[in-house]
């Protein structure tokens, strides 16, 4: 496995964590209560700690984090520009659904990394409390106003679509990263990875009370 | 010394740290470079860690952080609404000049707290890297375009003015907190505290290359 693949994956995850930090911290302003604001800020701070861990690992491997992140700034910026949440509930669904799909994908391809790299990736992708918090808030909102469910389900579909668009572009441009995915070139394995990711996504949607 | 004074000061500092976190994290979006963005995000994360330390201390004294912060939400929200930075340099000056004045003030009145409370206040008010970073960036901006200095000096004056307005309102409404300041009622001591704070402010302005 080429080193460039590790650098690419670390750079992608690092910039993903940095934008997740920014997004959660900014969305905290939309929080309806002080407790919600604090919960979102805590998640943001956890994402930043993860960013720092990946940055340190890149430096440890002799790579400037800024250099490793550079190829992924465009796609991630586009993704977030195209999926700016209009309100608090949309931001919660995005934080949970979007980050979880990305994390599942990173976890799947991390299996091909060296032990240290894999352990770090699994560590920084550990749930930062999104799941329970978001499920609780979204279910409560749907219980209070069932109409919300349709709108949020559409929103989640749009998130997945835009994420796939951007992922495709990254795949085309970053051979080393794509190499992690295709591995020995077995398309069945790749298909199984995507099946697994979409299945986990459907389960999360169900937990939120949304149709996938 | 009444317990309410500690609760008030902790609540004020906690909400101040939480809004500092939000502000720095949001302003990080204006950063001209990725390195600047990361630097501001790191400061934001440090502020949140401080917020958490004060929150834990409040819980340890049997007080809900939300309850302790409640009286200060209005004044701090007003302050930030009235001093929203128009650009990156204004946000840097606000982070440094505004937070430093607040920190000097909290430090001055912390002398009247019990040992544990004082140690915690001094700890969470420790510089989170604002100073060196902001001085460097603002001086470079002025060197590149000296006209900037006049605008930023005016901006800093506005910040101080609005901060004093809000502080006055807090002082009127929170007797316990004001009690920390007036102590035994010696107006000379109070005047000396304000003199010291304004002197430190002038020194910071000079370090930035701005006239106070």
User: Chain B residue closest to A48 (CA)?
Assistant: B45
| Cβ-Cβ contacts under 8 Å, A28 against chain B | 22
Burial class (CB in 10 A: 0-12, 13-18, 19+), A146: exposed
- The chain B residue lying nearest A38, using CA atoms, is B18
Query: What is the CB-side half-sphere exposure of residue A27 using CA atoms within 13 A?
Result: 26
The residue ranking higher by pLDDT, B212 or A98, is A98
Q: What is the DSSP string of A41-94?
A: HHHHHHHHHHHHHHHHHHHHTT--HHHHHHHHHHHHHHHHHHT--SSHHHHHHI
Mean predicted confidence (pLDDT) in A78-91 = 92
Distance from CA of A29 to the nearest CA of B (A): 7
Long-range contacts of A51-54 (CB under 8 A, 24+ apart): A51/A14, A51/A17, A51/A18, A51/A21, A51/B38, A51/B41, A52/B42, A53/A120, A53/A123, A53/A124, A54/A10, A54/A13, A54/A14, A54/A17, A54/A120, A54/A124
Whether B37 and A18 lie within 8 Å, measured CB to CB = yes
What are the chain B neighbours of A35 within 8 Å (beta carbons)?
66
* Nearest by CB: B41 against A38, A41, A48: A48
Residue pair A79/A166 in contact (Cβ under 8 Å)? The answer is yes
- Assigned token pair, A186: 């077995």
Cβ B11 vs Cβ B72: under 8 Å:
yes
Pick A34's closest partner by Cβ from B37, B38, B69.
B69
Average pLDDT over residues A138-154: 95
pLDDT value at residue A60: 95
- Nearest-by-CA chain A residue for B24: A25
Distance, in Å, from the CA atom of A169 to the CA atom of B172, rounded to the nearest integer, reads 59
**Roughly what angle, to the nearest 10 degrees, separates helices A34-60 and A130-144?**
150
Closest CA to B114 of B21, B31, B6: B6
Report d(CA B116, CA B94) in Å as an integer: 30
Is the pLDDT higher at A48 or at A1?
A48
DSSP chain B: --HHHHHHHHHHHHHHHHHHHHHHHHHGGG-SSHHHHHHHHHHHHHHHHHHHHHHHHHHHTT--HHHHHHHHHHHHHHHHHHT--SSHHHHHHIIIIIHHHHHHHHHHHHTTS-HHHHHHHHHHTS--SHHHHHHHHHHHHHHH-TTHHHHHHHHHHHHHHHHHHHHHHHHHH-HHHHHHHHTTT-HHHHHHHHHHHHHHHHHHHHHHT---
More confident residue, B81 or A169: B81
> Do the Cβ atoms of B68 and B14 come closer than 8 Å?
yes
Q: Give the pair of three-digit tokens for residue B14.
A: 């906690």
Main-chain phi, psi angles of A148, to 5 degrees: -55, -35
Compute the count of residue pairs across chains A and B with CB atoms less than 8 Å apart.
58
The answer to whether the beta carbons of residues B176 and B5 sit under 8 Å apart is yes
- What would the two tokens of residue B198 be? 């304004």
Low-confidence ranges of chain B (pLDDT < 70): 1-2, 128, 182-186
List all residues 6 or more positions away from B106 whose beta carbon is below 8 Å from its beta carbon.
B9, B12, B13, B121, B125
User: Least CA distance to B34: which residue of chain A?
Assistant: A66
Q: What is the CATH number of the domain that holds B112?
A: 1.20.1260.10
Angle between helical axes of B175-182 and B99-110 (0-180°, round to 10): 70
Q: Which residue has the higher pLDDT, A189 or B32?
A: B32
User: What average pLDDT does this structure show over A204-212?
Assistant: 90
User: What is the number of domains present in chain B?
Assistant: 1
Angle of the A65-82 helix axis to the B34-60 helix axis, nearest 10: 80
Place of tokens 């659904």: A97
Q: Which of B26, B52, B66 sits opposite A26 (nearest CB)?
A: B26
Q: Is the pLDDT of residue A184 over 60?
A: no
Q: Which segment of A40-44, A123-127, B51-55 scores lowest on mean pLDDT?
A: A123-127
Q: Which positions in chain A touch B44 (Cβ < 8 Å)?
A: 25, 48
Q: Which domain holds residue A131?
A: 3-208
CA atoms within 13 A on the CB side of A102: 28
């Amino acid at each position: 496995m080429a080193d460039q693949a590790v650098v690419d994956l670390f750079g992608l995850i690092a910039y993903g964590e940095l934008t997740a930090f920014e997004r959660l911290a900014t969305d905290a302003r939309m929080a309806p209560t002080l407790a919600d604001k604090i919960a979102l800020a805590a998640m943001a701070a956890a994402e930043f700690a993860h960013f720092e861990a990946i940055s340190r690992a890149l430096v440890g491997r002799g790579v400037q984090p800024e250099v490793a992140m550079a190829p992924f700034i465009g796609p991630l910026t586009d993704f977030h520009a195209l999926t700016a949440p209009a309100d608090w509930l949309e931001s919660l669904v995005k934080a949970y659904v979007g980050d979880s799909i990305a994390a599942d994908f990173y976890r799947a391809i991390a299996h091909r990394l060296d032990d240290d790299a894999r352990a770090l990736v699994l560590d920084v992708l550990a749930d930062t409390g999104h799941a329970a918090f978001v499920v609780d808030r979204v279910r409560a909102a749907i219980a209070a106003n069932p109409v919300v469910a349709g709108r949020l389900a559409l929103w989640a579909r749009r998130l997945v679509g835009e994420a796939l668009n951007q992922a495709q572009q990254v795949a085309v441009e970053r051979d080393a990263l794509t190499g992690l995915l295709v591995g020995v070139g077995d398309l069945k394995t790749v298909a199984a990875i995507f099946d697994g990711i979409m299945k986990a996504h459907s389960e999360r949607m169900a937990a939120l009370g949304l149709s996938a």
